[in-house]
């Protein structure tokens, strides 16, 4: 046990805090960044919290940034690396992300905001990824889960280490923690990114901060951290659990400000009231052949003006992007319509669903999210995944028995932060101001889309509304979205020749 004197000395240390950066106005931030060499055309496109974060992280090379989902954390890191490159520094950065879909997001953002940086996505086999790590490039991006299958010596030579969703390394006994520690020991710039500083278990903070500063903030090891902030409570049937000491939580909240800066959703004041965010997701290998077949059938249907086949192929492409497929099998050709049976296939690989779960996990704890989908099967797939990870949620669709009860649970129950809503049965007549995150798992028609957005973004909404659209590459997701945005019907446009597949 640690002596009480040592504990009090640790708790009352003089530590840094960067809260002062939040009080800086745009002109002050612009001037400070200009002195550091950041060009006006870049700075002028950033929000104030991004400018303040860049300013702090430019001077503090080991730091954690807690910014809520939609706050542009990736853009902050890209701007920092881009500026170092402009200053003729040799930059070699490795970025760990939680899902394969997040790799595509980083690649996308870099192509938009810093196309001069060479970005290498690592989404192949472990052997190929290890070989690609030794190639020339500025930023290399791969998943935590993929990283542990690559020899540690393949990560030598990286001066910059970015941990996207840094809370993923919460367990200090895992392979990923040990690998992150190894890379961090070599790097000069180490940044953690996550939506919120506090998760379900306060013990998780230690591993996250240790990778950044090796114990400077929260102590040299997990045992020390537990001794300071927790009491061990034995269980009747053996084992036990660590219970936070309530009167020391205030010290912990002050302590983490030493190496981090936190912006809540309410503090992102200069973000537009309605913020649209597009996420492009790689096509899963498991459905690639089905997508190619559906594309071919749709092209043939368009050429032959076969509206029925075109409609079926169009539907197939939309369903495939969501991870399932329905089709009819005729068991009696003489009575085709009467005895046609509908079958469903679900694919084990579902990058769109993985991306949604990532967004849910990243969402600030005091916020709520509405997920709109077009198909009942989609709602079932999402609901089953949420139940599997024990994520409380409500669901409203045509077959719901207690729609009002589900709605009341979502709006009034603090632990129920997710509402799954069929766009046809729930896009109108509902007041969903409780939510400020809106995800279109599938983009509905023009009318349903406008009505759906209006459920959350309406008079009385006091927070920025973040609207996410999920697009799977190789499907018609994004084309459908663009058509809806312009008030058009994509399938009709394909058949009339106004739009090309």
Residue 370, token pair as written in the block: 């509405």
pLDDT number for residue 329:
52
User: Cα–Cα distances in Å, from 202 out to 71, 164, 365?
Assistant: 24, 19, 14
pLDDT number for residue 339:
44
For residue range 77-86, list pLDDT tens digits in order: 999 999 999 9
Angle subtended by helix axes 222-229 and 204-213, to nearest 10: 130
Integer Cα distance of 404 and 338 in angstroms:
37
DSSP run (H or E) holding 463: none
DSSP run (H or E) holding 127: helix 126-132
Range in 300-309, 400-409, 437-446 with the lowest mean pLDDT: 400-409
225 close to 242: Cβ distance less than 8 angstroms: no
Cα atoms in the Cβ-side hemisphere of radius 13 Å centred on 494: 25
- The DSSP bridge pattern shows strands 93-97 and 139-143 to be parallel
Q: What does the pLDDT average to over 220-227?
A: 95
pLDDT number for residue 342:
63
Integer Cα distance of 54 and 33 in angstroms:
8
For residue range 382-400, list pLDDT tens digits in order: 999 999 999 999 998 877 7
Residue with tokens 């809540």: 264
Integer Cα distance of 446 and 452 in angstroms:
10
Cα atoms in the Cβ-side hemisphere of radius 13 Å centred on 414: 2
Helix (H, G, I), strand (E, B) or coil at 337: helix
Q: How confident is the model at residue 222 (pLDDT cuts 50, 70, 90)?
A: very high
* Residue scoring higher pLDDT (409 or 327): 409
For residue range 40-67, list pLDDT tens digits in order: 877 888 999 999 999 999 999 999 999 8
Domain boundaries, the chain: 4-13+61-269, 275-281+349-487, 285-346
Residue with tokens 């749709």: 298
- Bridge partners for 140 per DSSP: 94, 120
The reply to whether the predicted model has a pTM over 0.85 is no
Integer Cα distance of 252 and 274 in angstroms:
34
Integer Cα distance of 307 and 293 in angstroms:
17
Integer Cα distance of 325 and 287 in angstroms:
10
For residue range 364-377, list pLDDT tens digits in order: 888 899 999 999 99
Integer Cα distance of 23 and 205 in angstroms:
26
Which residues have CB under 8 Å from 275's CB, separation 6+?
A: 70, 464, 465, 466, 467
DSSP run (H or E) holding 440: strand 437-440
Residue among 53, 146, 170, 135 nearest 96 (CA)? 146
Q: What does the pLDDT average to over 343-370?
A: 90
Hey, how many other C-beta atoms are within 10 angstroms of the C-beta on 352? 25
Helix (H, G, I), strand (E, B) or coil at 498: coil
pLDDT number for residue 403:
80
* Residue scoring higher pLDDT (43 or 278): 278
For residue range 315-340, list pLDDT tens digits in order: 999 999 999 998 765 444 444 444 44
pLDDT number for residue 219:
95
Mean pLDDT (the chain) is 89
pLDDT number for residue 330:
45
Residue 460: left if φ>0, alpha if ψ -120 to 50, beta else—which one?
left
For residue range 139-175, list pLDDT tens digits in order: 999 999 999 999 999 999 999 999 998 988 889 999 9
pLDDT number for residue 338:
43
**Phi/psi at 216 (nearest 5 deg)?**
-60, -40
- The DSSP bridge pattern shows strands 274-281 and 393-396 to be unpaired
- Bridge partners for 144 per DSSP: none
Question: What is the Cα 182 distance to its own chain's centre?
Answer: 25
pLDDT number for residue 39:
86
* Cα first-last separation, the chain: 68
For residue range 6-31, list pLDDT tens digits in order: 999 999 999 999 999 999 999 999 99
43 close to 33: Cβ distance less than 8 angstroms: yes
What is the CATH number assigned to the segment(s) 4-13+61-269? 3.40.50.10810
Helix (H, G, I), strand (E, B) or coil at 330: strand
Hey, how many other C-beta atoms are within 10 angstroms of the C-beta on 454? 14
Range in 37-46, 305-314, 344-353, 467-476 with the lowest mean pLDDT: 37-46
Is the dihedral angle over the CA atoms 208, 209, 214, 219 positive or is it negative? negative
What is the percentage of the chain residues whose pLDDT exceeds 90?
Answer: 65
**Phi/psi at 418 (nearest 5 deg)?**
-125, 135
| Domain 4-13+61-269 and domain 275-281+349-487 have a common topology | yes
Integer Cα distance of 104 and 118 in angstroms:
14
Instruction: Given CATH 3.40.50.300, say whether it is the number of domain 275-281+349-487.
Output: yes
- Bridge partners for 234 per DSSP: 240
């Amino acid at each position: 046990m640690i002596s009480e004197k040592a504990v009090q000395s640790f708790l009352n240390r003089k530590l840094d805090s960067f809260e002062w950066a939040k009080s800086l106005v745009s002109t002050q931030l612009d001037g400070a960044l200009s002195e550091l060499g950041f060009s006006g055309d870049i700075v002028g496109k950033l929000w104030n919290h991004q400018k303040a974060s860049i300013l702090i992280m430019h001077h503090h090379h080991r730091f954690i940034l807690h910014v809520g989902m939609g706050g542009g954390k990736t853009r902050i890191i890209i701007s920092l690396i881009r500026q170092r490159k402009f200053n003729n520094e040799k930059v070699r950065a490795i970025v760990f992300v939680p899902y394969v879909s997040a790799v595509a997001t980083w690649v996308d953002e870099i192509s938009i905001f810093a196309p001069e940086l060479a970005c290498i996505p690592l989404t192949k086999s472990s052997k190929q990824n290890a070989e690609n790590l030794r190639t020339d490039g500025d930023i290399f991006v791969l998943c935590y889960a993929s990283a542990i299958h690559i020899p540690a010596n393949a990560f030598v030579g990286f001066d910059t280490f970015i941990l996207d969703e840094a809370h993923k390394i919460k367990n200090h006994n895992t392979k990923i923690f040990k690998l992150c520690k190894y890379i961090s020991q070599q790097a000069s710039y180490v940044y953690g990114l996550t939506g919120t500083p506090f998760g379900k278990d306060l013990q998780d903070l230690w591993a996250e901060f240790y990778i950044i500063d090796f114990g400077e903030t929260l102590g040299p090891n997990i045992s020390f951290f537990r001794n300071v902030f927790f009491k061990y409570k034995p269980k009747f049937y053996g084992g036990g659990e660590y219970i936070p000491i309530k009167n020391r939580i205030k010290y912990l909240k002050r302590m983490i400000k030493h190496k981090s800066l936190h912006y809540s959703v309410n503090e992102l004041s200069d973000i537009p009231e309605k913020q649209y965010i597009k996420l492009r997701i790689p096509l899963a290998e498991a459905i690639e052949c089905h997508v190619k077949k559906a594309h071919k059938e749709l092209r043939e249907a368009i050429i032959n003006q076969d509206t029925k086949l075109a409609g079926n192929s169009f539907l197939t492409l939309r369903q495939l992007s969501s991870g399932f497929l329905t089709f009819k099998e005729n068991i009696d050709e003489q009575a085709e319509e009467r005895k046609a049976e509908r079958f469903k296939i679900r694919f084990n690989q579902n990058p769109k669903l993985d991306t949604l779960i990532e967004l849910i996990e990243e969402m600030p704890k005091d916020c709520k999210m509405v997920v709109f989908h077009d198909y009942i099967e989609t709602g079932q797939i999402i609901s089953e995944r949420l139940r599997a990870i024990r994520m409380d949620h409500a669901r409203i669709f045509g077959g719901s028995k207690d729609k009002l009860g589900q709605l009341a649970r979502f709006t009034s129950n603090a632990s129920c932060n997710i509402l799954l809503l069929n766009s046809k049965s729930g896009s109108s007549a509902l007041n969903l101001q409780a939510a400020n995150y809106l995800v279109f798992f599938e983009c509905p028609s023009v009318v349903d889309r406008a009505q759906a957005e209006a459920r959350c973004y309406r008079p009385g909404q006091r927070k920025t509304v973040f609207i996410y659209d999920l697009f799977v590459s190789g499907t018609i997701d994004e084309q459908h979205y663009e058509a809806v945005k312009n008030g058009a019907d994509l399938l009709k446009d394909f058949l009339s020749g106004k739009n090309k597949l």
